[in-house]
Amino acid sequence: MIEVKDIHKSFGDTNVLKGITATFKKGKTNLIIGQSGSGKTVFLKCLLGLFSPEEGSIAYDGRDYAKLSGDERRDLRQEMGMVFQGSALFDSMTVEGNVMFPLDMFTKKSKSEKQERVDFVLKRVNLLEARDRFPSQISGGMQKRVAIARAIVMNPKYLFCDEPNSGLDPKTATLIDNLIQEITEEYDITTVINTHDMNSVMEIGEKIIFLKDGLKEWEGTKNEIFKTDNKAVTGFVYSSELFEKVRKMYVEERN
Ligand X SMILES: Nc1ncnc2c1ncn2[C@@H]1O[C@H](COP(=O)(O)OP(=O)(O)OP(=O)(O)O)[C@@H](O)[C@H]1O
* 102 counts as binding other proteins under rule CB under 8 A: yes
Give the one entry of ligand X, Mg ion, other proteins, none that residue 42 binds, where binding means its C-beta sits below a cut-off of 5 to 8 angstroms depending on kind: ligand X
Considering Cα of 85, then 198, then 24, then 144, what sign does the dihedral take?
Answer: negative
Which residue, 15 or 78, has its beta carbon nearer to other proteins?
Answer: 78
Q: Which of residues 227-246 bind other proteins (CB under 8 A)?
A: none
Cβ-proximal residues to 155 (8 Å cutoff; 6+ apart), any chain: 187
Q: Which residues bind ligand X (CB under 6 A)?
A: 11, 16, 34, 36-42, 196
Shortest reach from residue 233's CB to other proteins, in Å = 29
**Separation between Cα atoms, residue 58 and residue 245, nearest integer Å:** 40
By CB under 5 A, the residues from 19 to 58 that bind Mg ion are 41
Burial 114-140, CB ≥16 within 10 A → b, else e: beebbeebbebbebeebbeebbeebee
Shortest spacing between CB 70 and Mg ion, in angstroms: 28
Least separation, in Å, of the C-beta of 2 and ligand X? 18
Q: Is 87 in the site for Mg ion (CB under 5 A)?
A: no
Strands 158-162 and 190-195: parallel
Q: Which of 151/237 has CB closer to other proteins?
A: 151
Note whether 29 and 165 are within 8 A (CB).
no
Does 88 help bind other proteins (rule: CB under 8 A)?
Answer: yes
